[in-house]
Amino acid sequence: MLSFTRLLTAQPSDLSRSLCRTSLPSRKSTAPANLKLFFYSHPTPGPPERRRRSGRSLLPPLRPPRPARLPDALGSGAEVRAASWAGLGGPGWQRAGRVQAGICIMEKQVLESTEERTFQYQDSLPSLPVPPLDESLSKYLDAVKPFLNQEEYQRTEDIVKKFENGIGKELHQKLLERAKMRRNWLEDWWLNVAYLDLRISTQIHCNMGGPGPYIEHCWPPKEGTQIERACVNIWHTLKYWDLLRAEKVTIERSGNTVLDMNQFRMLFCTCKIPGVTRDSIGTYFKTEAEGECPSHLIVLCRGRVFAFDAMHEGSMVTPPEIFRQLTYIQKRCHSEPDGPGLAALTSNERTKWAELREYLIDLDPKNLTLLEKIQRSLFVVCLDDSSPHATPEDYTELTRLGLTGDPTVRWGDKSYNSIFFSNGTCSAFCDHSPFDAMALITMLAYAEKKIIENEGKWKGSDNVRDIPWPEELVFTVDPKIINEIGRTKELYYKQVSDLQLVSYAFTSFGKALLRKKKLHPDTFVQLALQLAYYKCHGRPGCCYETAMTRRFYHGRTETIRPCTMEAVEWCKSMLDPSDSTYQRLQLMHKAFAKHNKMRKECENGRGFDRHLLGLLLIAQEQGLPVPELYGDKAFTASGGGGNFVLSTSLTGYTRFSGSALPMVQHGYGFFYSIRDDRIVATCSSWKSCPETDAEVLCRTMFQCFHDMLQLTVTAQL
């Protein structure tokens, strides 16, 4: 057994001898028929009849890793500093349900439970309701008003009345019948329509990501700290997995109302699987009561894939042992040729990736076993060579690289990729389909809490057991696959190079002052964004904000539409020099009240967007023509059908922020977290669109924050 202290302080010759004493996997060097990527695998069922094609390796014989150069920051002894990361939002109606809008305030949550079991109330949660048809249509008419003139609105009103008294009534009745047969009438539809039916690159357009905030209170960017910070970070994530398996993660609540916890099952051991016409989700997580659960990690580094088990002889590997495993992988990858970068294929358009996946399986049936190994893994650890600049006031580069960085070291279909950069900064990158961001943030907040409690250091045993070395995961590939990887990377970088993204902290004030002023912090930001968009573009901006519906069985999200008539009237008043401060303040209060009312209605299953989607899908299933309501100008102009120009999410009242891309070419992606003393905003747009500028919108919104606060101060004089 090699102690962690010795690992840190050993002379090169000692380290080499210690590593050599542990048995290493052997591998012969032979000439290739097909290039293979060595993969740690275990037998899993696959198609019974597939031809096996032989392949050999171009890689040199395996040798013990060169002596590790140990990070200066670790000092002596077994103290390992650790970092964590963050995650967040995704696209709208026709895409992803966004971050659940700040309902769970993490600083008020207890993250470990000993009295309740995590999933014990699942069967007692209420079913997702179907709102009354007349109520939903009335709200829809109210939402489209800002985008229509009087003549257009009258036409839309006639269309809505015709729908309500005709086909809409029939579709609504069928939806009610569906709801009687299902506890959540929307669940399967939403998963398919918002995520699994998409044929675009979901890694680029739908995945969510976000930077780790540890540069603010643990350690600034520093070269050479990648592995030392990763090992404790990973360990705390594994501890959360262990708590989840034991059902000791605290049940979340909104006030006294229990929230659905189903999404937490998909944080680990979950992966999207590409299909030619529709993807699927494989989830292999099990609680202790349900049985055995996969316990291995996947590590991506320089185009190569490795795996090692997070459990050894019934106990979890420790940070010193994770350090040993990651150092081994890093040294091999830095001293040997780069791998083919098979992970880049996950960034493909979905049908293309599905076809290439089938081709890989036909090439060698072993490839299916290897793909399933990745799918079943706890999560993916990404060792990225980039060193993004980051400060507590400017997360731009770290956020951008976390979201659109090297595709060969991200498995885009995996529910959770934990990215560690060369300079010790970190980020999260997640497939959005299995869960919304607040589930992820709960886990990240747990890790952050534990890391802070331990001052960013490992204070446990420094012993390193003789655990098996990581094994490289090797696919059989051929020239076609190698060419496709190159083509995919070229297309990926071309697409993401068009992205403009900024992530800044507004530090003049935050939640504490807004609460003192009796202004809801989320509504404050949403109205400021409406004003900023109006200033920049001279018109109202149809906007999507997430509301959480987790008080219902398997609930996910509903759409709040912040661009109300009340908000537009206030924006116009703010730009009208003839209006008094009192008039502006009164209009602002009306806009606040309207937004707050909509939020509560949506959280209680009384929104209208998901209802209208359900009616449309009923019509499609019945083979009926698309009702006129959905082809009306008002529907698209107000954002329906995935046409919101402002696609927004609150990532809660924590240090964790996030990002995703705009929903439309001429739109913005906008994500924000609200803390006591600051508001961190991330804004994205496309460079190729001459109408949009993420930098300008973000800076304008910060000025609007000041204008709104000044309005409340001046009115009191």
Same domain, 363 and 236: yes
SS3 89: coil
For the stretch 521-559, pLDDT in tens is 999 999 999 999 999 999 999 999 999 999 999 999 999
Same domain, 677 and 629: yes
| Lowest-pLDDT choice from 34-38, 141-145, 279-283 | 34-38
Same domain, 324 and 342: yes
For the stretch 499-508, pLDDT in tens is 999 999 999 9
Q: At residue 246, what are phi and psi to the nearest 5 degrees?
A: -85, 0
Residue 191 above 90 pLDDT? yes
Does an H or E element contain 668, and which? strand 668-674
Distance (Å, rounded) from C-alpha 84 to C-alpha 419? 9
| Structure-model confidence comparison of residues 162 and 98, the more confident one | 162
DSSP conformational letter for 48: S
pLDDT reported for residue 111: 59
pTM reported for the whole predicted model: 0.85
For the stretch 655-674, pLDDT in tens is 999 998 999 999 999 999 99
Confidence class for position 372, pLDDT limits 50, 70, 90? very high
> The domain spanning residue 518 has which CATH number?
3.30.559.10
Residue 107 lies in a domain: no
- Across the chain, mean pLDDT equals 87
Distances (CA, A) of 413 to 349, 354, 636, 710: 12, 12, 30, 46
Percent of the chain with pLDDT over 70: 84
Among 380, 396, 358, 382, CA closest to 480: 358
Among 609, 596, 522, 594, CA closest to 557: 609
Same domain, 57 and 178: no
pLDDT reported for residue 357: 99
**Are the CB atoms for 216 and 392 separated by under 8 Å?**
yes
Same domain, 416 and 524: no
**Domain termination residue (choose one: 448, 475, 496):** 496
pLDDT reported for residue 714: 84
For the stretch 259-272, pLDDT in tens is 999 999 999 999 99
Residue 88 lies in a domain: yes
Residues marked as catalytic: 432
Tokens of 623: 């083979």
Confidence class for position 72, pLDDT limits 50, 70, 90? very low
Residue 108 lies in a domain: no
How does DSSP assign 339-350, residue by residue? ---GGGGGGS-H
Distances (CA, A) of 427 to 2, 264, 418, 435, 513: 31, 19, 6, 18, 29
Confidence class for position 620, pLDDT limits 50, 70, 90? very high
Residue 284 above 70 pLDDT? yes
| Structure-model confidence comparison of residues 715 and 429, the more confident one | 429
pLDDT reported for residue 452: 85
Same domain, 171 and 50: no
**Are the CB atoms for 428 and 419 separated by under 8 Å?**
yes
Query: For 617-640, what is the mean pLDDT?
Result: 97
Residue 273 lies in a domain: yes
Residue 311 above 50 pLDDT? yes
Residue 103 lies in a domain: no
| Lowest-pLDDT choice from 81-85, 216-220, 306-310, 616-620 | 81-85
| Lowest-pLDDT choice from 35-39, 50-54, 482-486 | 35-39
Tokens of 642: 């995935």
What is the total count of domains within the chain? Answer: 2
Residue 96 above 90 pLDDT? no
Among 351, 349, 91, CA closest to 195: 91
Confidence class for position 168, pLDDT limits 50, 70, 90? very high
Same domain, 492 and 515: no
Distance (Å, rounded) from C-alpha 422 to C-alpha 715? 51
| Structure-model confidence comparison of residues 482 and 17, the more confident one | 482
Sequence-distant (≥ 6) Cβ neighbours of residue 387 within 8 angstroms: 221, 223, 421, 422, 423, 425
Query: For 469-496, what is the mean pLDDT?
Result: 98
pLDDT reported for residue 717: 58
Exposed, middle or buried by CB within 10 Å (0-12, 13-18, 19+), for 666? middle
Exposed, middle or buried by CB within 10 Å (0-12, 13-18, 19+), for 652? buried
Residue 100 lies in a domain: no
Residue 77 above 70 pLDDT? no
Buried (b) or exposed (e) across 523-535, using 16+ Cβ within 10 A? Answer: bbbbbbbbbbbbb
Same domain, 239 and 260: yes
Tokens of 488: 């995919």
Q: At residue 418, what are phi and psi to the nearest 5 degrees?
A: -105, 110
Same domain, 426 and 457: yes
> The domain spanning residue 242 has which CATH number?
3.30.559.70
SS3 70: coil
Same domain, 402 and 521: no
For the stretch 139-163, pLDDT in tens is 999 999 999 999 999 999 999 999 9
pLDDT reported for residue 590: 98
Residue 307 above 80 pLDDT? yes
Alpha helices in 468-608 (DSSP H): 479-496, 511-516, 521-537, 565-574, 581-603
Residue 681 lies in a domain: yes
**Are the CB atoms for 549 and 542 separated by under 8 Å?**
no
Note the residue count of the chain. Answer: 717
CA Rg value for the chain: 26
**Are the CB atoms for 551 and 259 separated by under 8 Å?**
yes
pLDDT reported for residue 456: 81
Residue 151 lies in a domain: yes
For the stretch 675-698, pLDDT in tens is 999 999 999 999 999 999 999 999
pLDDT reported for residue 108: 43
Same domain, 122 and 210: no
Query: For 419-444, what is the mean pLDDT?
Result: 96
Alpha-carbon dihedral angle through residues 673, 679, 84, 492, given to the nearest 10 degrees: 70
Tokens of 601: 């209605």
Distance (Å, rounded) from C-alpha 405 to C-alpha 275? 25
Tally Cβ neighbours within 10 Å of residue 75.
13
Same domain, 153 and 237: no
**Domain termination residue (choose one: 443, 466, 496):** 496
Confidence class for position 397, pLDDT limits 50, 70, 90? very high
pLDDT reported for residue 235: 96
Query: For 214-232, what is the mean pLDDT?
Result: 91
Distances (CA, A) of 344 to 293, 349, 378, 391: 27, 11, 20, 29
Buried (b) or exposed (e) across 592-619, using 16+ Cβ within 10 A? Answer: bebbeebbebbbbbbbbbbbbbbbbbbb
Range of the domain at 542: 115-196+499-715
**Domain termination residue (choose one: 496, 522, 539):** 496
Distance (Å, rounded) from C-alpha 429 to C-alpha 425? 14
